[in-house]
A and B are shown apart, each in its own frame.
Chain A
Amino acid sequence: MNERELLEAVGRLPKSIEPPRDLWPGIEARLGRRWRRWYWIPLGAAAAVVAVLVGRGGGGGGGGGREAWDVSQVAGRPMVGAAPLRGAGTLRVGEWVETDDSSRARIAVGRIGQVDVQPGTRIRLVEARPDAHRLALAHGTIAAQVDAPPRIFFVDTPAGTAIDLGCVYTLEMDSLGNGRLHVTLGYVEFRWGGRRAIVPMGALALTRPGVGPGTPYVEDAPAALRRALAAFDFEGRGEPALRAALAAARPDDALSLWHLLERVDPPVRGVVYDRLAGLVPPPAGVTRDAAIALQPAALDAYWRAIQRILFRKVILQGIRDIDPRTGRTVR
């Protein structure tokens, strides 16, 4: 490589690299409060007034916290209710947005984010309150981007509810209610009845009506693992499918095995734990007995270790090699 080639390569380097984790909490904790105090007092009072008004049924078109959201035409002729949307409009609680094969729309989720409605989609606004932003996706594809505290943005589907934990994701539902969730930033919890999947960035989960979310898996999970998980989650193949999943799993697939702990019967939970612990060692304080007993503290500690590894792997992809067993940089 000569110097010109080197400089050309340097010119192609990205100017921006997202940090491997959200650094804001650490920053916020270090910010002085001298301005904040006087700022928040009137803001808090104003919020209280707004809360009272909203509680009395006050509303109107537009921004967050009201009973309607903004919606805009992106392409083609999306419909809002029975009327075609031209330019920008208002989506009120109970109204549907519907796109045909050639139209797209964008819904402003109050003031906390947006949902891009892809072609062939039908979606309804269910709730538009400051503490509960809720859509119902009947079928089609949406791309959601939300910057808000966890658990205030929900998307109901025929096969469960996607609960935003601060993230960017795509959610697809076919006309039979079969769905696929793909998270590209942050986390989404998908829940149906008592069944849940926590899907971090770089991972996916399938969901089926009457069953709920399947075991999530990372984007590059081996095909054998995906097939085995689908057989276990949705086809009732039981222990043979489980053993096939365990055999196919790599350290990178700890996310899936952690979820399987909660999904298998107690007699085989030890087998799942042993495989998980062999791939990604448990953090200090997590014992086999506690994990098999599904003690929340043990599961949470193991989860934090796994999600940290996955986070570093995804965010540093192409910059650092990450050991999938520990999350440490490989040098």
Chain B
Amino acid sequence: MTDDLVRQAQAGDQSAFREIYRQHAGRVYALCLRLTGDDAAAEERTQDVFVRVWHKLRSFRGESAFGSWLHRLTVNVVLMERRTTGRRERRVAPAADPAVLERGGREPSVGLNIDLERAIAALPEGAREVFVLHDIEGYPHAEIARLTGIAEGTSKAQLFRARRLLREKLER
């Protein structure tokens, strides 16, 4: 079904592209939300991703599943945005501040998933990206290193740090 929609969208059919958006927005938004740790930034990145998809769609040859292609493009968009913004003021200063995690945040209300999502969002930026890409999305360290521009060893260290912070946070 997605294949048909992709072909129609490649031919310029915006209604087909809207259906693609409808089918994949949740997956893209979840990835953006976890990578950025901020819902407003996630909304912006999600829109950026679909605009990028529209312009690059004709280069999609079907060599991989559309979902995989979209996933990869989403990661690239989010990471590229972070690189280009550099150190400009972040929307969520606390998420980039490890001290927030060390001193604890709000008390969890219900469910481990909620606590875990909050704890992930509160991770320092670099640790969060590596954790999301490795432990949630299944990327190997070598690829994370290539995508994020860090050394493979740094990726492993960030993952170790992220897991430790999360365990500490969730045990409180």
Given A18-B25, A19-B46, A331-B106, A39 contacting B30 (CB threshold 8 A) = no
Collect the chain A residues with CB atoms within 8 Å of residue B17's CB.
31
Task: Collect the chain B residues with CB atoms within 8 Å of residue A320's CB.
Answer: 39
- Contact in complex: A39, B106 (CB < 8 Å): no
Number of interface residues of B (CB under 8 A): 41
For window 12-41 of A, CB contacts with B under 8 Å fall at 12-21, 23-24, 26-28, 30-32, 35-36, 38-39
Residues in A whose Cβ lies below 8 Å from that of B46: 19, 23
Q: Is the CB of B26 within 8 A of A16?
A: yes
Q: Is the interface of B mostly helix, strand, loop or mixed?
A: helix
Report the bound CA distance from A28 to B16 in whole Å: 12
Instruction: Indicate if the CB atoms of A14 and B30 lie closer than 8 Å.
Output: yes
Structural contact, B106 and A330, CB atoms closer than 8 A? yes
List, in ascending order, chain A residues with CB within 8 A of B14's CB. Answer: 28, 31, 36, 39
**Contact A17 to B26, CB < 8 A, known contacts A3-B163, A7-B135, A36-B14:** yes
Chain B residue with the shortest CB-CB distance to A7: B135
Binds A, one of B81-89, B107-115, B145-153: B107-115
Number of A-B residue pairs with CB-CB distance less than 8 Å in the complex they form: 103
Per the 8 Å Cβ criterion, residues 303-331 of A in contact with B are 316, 318-321, 329-331
List residues of chain B with CB within 8 A of the CB of A21: 43
Contacts of A26 in B (CB 8 A): 47
Cβ–Cβ contact B113 & A13, under 8 A = yes
Complex: how many Å from CA A114 to CA B17? Answer: 20
Chain A residues with a Cβ closer than 8 Å to the other chain, count: 38
B55, A32: Cβ atoms closer than 8 Å: yes
B6 to chain A, nearest CB (A): 14
If A10-B136, A23-B47 touch, whether A32 touches B54 (CB-CB below 8 Å) is: yes
A9 contacts B by Cβ under 8 Å: yes
Please, how many angstroms separate the alpha-carbon atoms of A50 and B70 in the complex? 36
**In the complex, how many angstroms separate the beta carbon of A50 from the nearest chain B beta carbon?**
16
User: In the bound complex, do residue B167 and residue A2 qualify as a contact, i.e. CB atoms below 8 Å apart?
Assistant: yes
How far is A7 from B170 in the complex, measured between Cα atoms in Å?
12
Chain A residues contacting B11 (CB-CB under 8 Å) are: 35, 39
Contacts of B105 in A (CB 8 A): 331
Beta-carbon nearest neighbor of A329 in chain B: B39
Q: How far is the CB of A138 from chain B (nearest CB, A)?
A: 32
- What sequence of 0s and 1s flags, for each residue 91-122 of chain B, a beta carbon within 8 Å of any chain A beta carbon? 00010000000000110011111101100000
User: Cβ of B143 < 8 Å from any Cβ of A?
Assistant: no
| Sampled A-B contacts (24; CB under 8 Å) | A2-B167, A3-B163, A14-B113, A15-B27, A17-B30, A18-B26, A19-B26, A19-B42, A23-B21, A23-B25, A23-B29, A23-B46, A23-B50, A24-B21, A26-B47, A27-B21, A27-B50, A32-B54, A39-B11, A39-B13, A318-B111, A318-B113, A319-B33, A330-B106
Q: Which 8 A-B pairs have the closest CB atoms?
A: A35-B12, A16-B26, A17-B30, A19-B29, A39-B12, A27-B50, A30-B51, A18-B26
